[in-house]
Amino acid sequence: MVRQDEIRAAERAIEWPEATDAGLIFIGRIHTPWTSRMDCPRQGRHDGPTCRIEVFETWALALERITEYERLEVLYWLHRSRRDLVLQSPRDDGATRGTFALRLPVRPNPTGTSIVKLIALEGACLPRSSRRLRGVPT
């Protein structure tokens, strides 16, 4: 297993460019039982632990009538992910693939997506059945 921020022999990183073209506004935070990326499961499953999505108060009204839906698609930012690898060797066997040919959290814009089961709405928090958000430690 790769250690955090390790670059394997066949992988290649680039010098990270200065961002000038877009901004991102965080609307909440996902709370999971995992404390590091290395602990996160590789693939999502609905039988994992219950996690919590905290929506910041500014955006609380956007949750109106969300309980009418059993499943939600959650888009999230993988804030601890490397962003500079252009070639990766996920099996560490010397074979590489371009970052965009892989489903890994290491990418220039590290976004993740997951379909989750909504359990309840508690104020501006959504406890939900985990589809184990890959790469999202608390």
Q: Residues 2-22: pLDDT tens digits?
A: 577 788 888 889 887 787 777
| DSSP of 40-106 | S-SS--TTS-EEEEEEPGGGGGGGTTGGG-SEEEEEEE-TTS---EEEE-TTSSS--EEGGGS--S-
Chain centroid to CA 98:
20
What tokens were used for 111? Answer: 């976004």
Query: Total domain count for the chain?
Result: 1
The whole domain housing 61 covers 25-81+110-129
- Give the Cα separation of 112 and 64 in Å (integer): 24
Query: Taking the CA of residue 97 as centre, how many other CA atoms within 13 Å lie in the half-sphere pointing to its CB?
Result: 12
Domain for residue 100, yes or no?
Answer: no
Q: Is residue 14 part of a domain?
A: no
Query: Considering the domain boundaries, does residue 104 fall inside one?
Result: no
Q: Which pLDDT tens digit goes with each residue over 70-127?
A: 999 999 998 888 899 999 998 888 899 999 999 888 899 989 888 889 999 988 887 7
